[in-house]
Structure 1
Amino acid sequence: KKTVSDASGLTCSVGVSGDKTTAKFAAKLNKPDGLTVITPWEAEARLADEPVTELSGIAKGIGTFLNKYGVYKCGDMKKLPIGILAKRFGNPGRRIWLMAQGKDPEPVTTIIKPPKTIGHGKVMPPGTHDLRTVLLYLQHMAEKVGTRLRRHNFQSNHFFIGIKTEAGWLGMKTKIDFTTDDGQVIYELGRQFMQKYWVGQEARQVQITALNPTESRQQDLFLDNTHQIKREKINKAVDKINQRYGEFTVAPMPVIGRSEMPNVIAPAWKPTGHRKTI
């Protein structure tokens, strides 16, 4: 058996020969962290009484089409000739026919691709025009991004800083001369952005995203990295404390107790790995 995560971020345990559809079904039974084992030879029977619309990729449109042929549950699918679905939807239709019977040809994917971005954002309190409040939230997000970069051994020198206003997103992409995973450095980019672009509009949401993160690089031996080395030691110590006693047990003073809105789980959430986004 292997423990895997599907696109919805839920975990399950399936046989090595298990298919992706059955894995997703198993993932939903005891979420978010429960363990459900469905062997390949049980898949068809376990899916038989489930509505076809519970299958990934079958929404109202395809569901209505299937209902016209008396297919409401997965177990009804075998009564429908595969050719009808193939004629209407092509190869995806053939896959749907197999999916409903626990025979999805697409295997379970256990390898998570490297991230293209690592970011955090938060909705602001209604009617926020205060610069200090906006900077507080930006600092909170900067520390979150830095923590996640370090946790997964990534750094970046390319960041997006943005604020959602009544007129839409106000943002910029900025590059620095070196890669970093330090929340303090990332926050400084946010502060510079505010000074340059923000003129007091209502701030509805903030966002900081590390673009194209790469694995941590070796420091330049010919530059004076004394301050950077000191920051790395501090961050390492802080991370160890926070991993043991909880997020932001140790944090910059302005952040502690000032930005306690609950984390919201995004659709791409996974229990482990860089895709556990907030």
Structure 2
Amino acid sequence: MIALIDMDCFFAQIEQMDNRNWFKKPVAVTNGTQGTTIITCSYEARAFGVHTGMRLKQARQLCPGLIHAPSRPYRYAELSTRIMEGLIDITPDVEVFSVDEAFLDLSRCQSLYQGATDIGYLIKKRVWQVSGLHCSIGISGDKTTAKFAAKKAKPDGLKVIHPDLAAEVLASEVVTALSGINKGIGRFLRHYGVERCGDMKKIPMSLLAKRFGHLGRRIWLMAQGLDPEPLNFNVKAPKSIGHGKVLPPKTAQKNIILTYLQHMSEKVAARMRCFCYQAECFFIGLKTERGWLKTKARAGVYTDDGQVIYQLCKAFVDFYWAGQGVWQVQVTALSPRQGKQLDLFAQPDLQREHLNQTVDKVNYRYGELTLAPARLLQKSTMPNVIAPAWKPKGHRKTI
């Protein structure tokens, strides 16, 4: 028995809760006061045709009374953490899928409750108790069908699909309605006459396995309500640790580009220090009109120092950048290793290490970049955003 908890218009619902005069009114959330693209919006706004990804200007033409809410990612993360911790009261087997979604494996505790519907309403009650927010819940025998059921239950609903009926329920649904089957896979399946889940039996599993490997085998089973994917309770070690930020379009002032790169360097370094990681190789990129201008720069030693990372960024800009407009910057530590990586011949800069430790303590207590390089006084006022792979614990707990 698998349940998927999906918070309804999570960010917008929080804004409506915290601003009571916005209750049941059309609200659109953007990235800060300067943000022009809608991150999410309330159901009242959606009734006017407003949707995620729409420009605020266009949304206001559809809904003149639209309320603009600048995002508050730390508030969203705070409530998400509270919800995820509250779900452990239902079952210890919880997989945090994203900031507003979680899977619960209820298989081991079914005897404690009075069936799937009873469990579903208990989960909704628990989420409300810890957050004051509504959610939609889908329950079935596998992750994909549970997620499909939750989508059908929106908003503030509960839908149970018994495992024995999953294949029958999914049969008439287009395959791309299932999470994990994108348009590209859909086009491939359509070529073999598979448009709806019930058509999947027309082709052998080996056809998908040959094209997509393990994912292909899983897709073949997903369409029949037999997704074999178990819940994942552990946050895997990172293959990379990075941060990026969008600039005003066609930014061509070198000083501004360097400010953004230093901001990202300090964020990456602070995050590595927080979780005891260091890296020797860093991806540095500038997104231009013709695509990414990028490099993999080596520091020569393993480091978690933002100043060292920034010097790599500065050298990259001096050597590669030719004055073209920039839309976005990215700094990523590649293949980070946990623990201090000591060089046999290098002398550690203890003064610099102590400085970073002190800065981290101050910033942890008083907020990110309370202490920072002077250049970052000019940094963007746009707030940080929650990464798609956010988790309430470990190195994925990042904004």
Does the alignment reach a TM-score above 0.5? yes
Q: How far is the alpha carbon of 1:97 from its aligned partner?
A: 4.2
- The aligned residue for residue 166 of structure 1 is 289
- The aligned residue for residue 74 of structure 1 is none
Higher relative contact order (CA 8 A, sep 6+): 1
How many percent of aligned residue pairs carry the same amino acid?
A: 45
- The aligned residue for residue 11 of structure 1 is 102
Structure 1's 202 and 108: CA in aligned 2 closer, same or farther, altered over 3 A?
same
1:255 partnered with 2:376: yes
Contact 1:98-1:105 within 8 A present in 2 as well: no
Q: Aligned to 1:113, which of 236, 254, 257? A: 236
Return the structure number with greater helix share: 2
1:129 partnered with 2:252: yes
Task: Judge which range, 155-164 or 85-94, deviates more.
Answer: 85-94
Structure 1's 160 and 3: CA in aligned 2 closer, same or farther, altered over 3 A?
same
SS across alignment from 2:237: coil
Structure 1's 38 and 251: CA in aligned 2 closer, same or farther, altered over 3 A?
farther
Q: Aligned to 2:222, which of 56, 75, 96? A: 96
Counterpart Cα distance in 2 of 1:38 and 1:246 = 41
Structure 1's 122 and 94: CA in aligned 2 closer, same or farther, altered over 3 A?
closer
SS across alignment from 1:236: helix
The AA in structure 2 aligned to 1:136 is T
Aligned length: 260
Counterpart Cα distance in 2 of 1:44 and 1:240 = 54
Counterpart Cα distance in 2 of 1:178 and 1:155 = 9
Q: Aligned to 1:209, which of 332, 340, 344? A: 332
Counterpart Cα distance in 1 of 2:345 and 2:319 = 33
Q: Aligned to 2:317, which of 194, 218, 222? A: 194
Counterpart Cα distance in 2 of 1:44 and 1:8 = 31
Task: Judge which range, 148-157 or 267-276, deviates more.
Answer: 267-276
Q: How far is the alpha carbon of 1:89 from its aligned partner?
A: 6.0
Counterpart Cα distance in 2 of 1:124 and 1:70 = 40
Contact 2:263-2:379 within 8 A present in 1 as well: no
Gaps of 5+ in 2: 1-90, 109-140, 210-216
SS across alignment from 2:375: coil
Give the superposed CA RMSD: 4.2
- TM-score (norm: length of structure 2): 0.53
Structure 1's 98 and 273: CA in aligned 2 closer, same or farther, altered over 3 A?
farther
Counterpart Cα distance in 2 of 1:6 and 1:207 = 24
- The aligned residue for residue 271 of structure 2 is 148
Gaps of 5+ in 1: 31-35, 72-76
- TM-score (norm: length of structure 1): 0.72
Structure 1's 155 and 24: CA in aligned 2 closer, same or farther, altered over 3 A?
farther
The AA in structure 2 aligned to 1:245 is Y
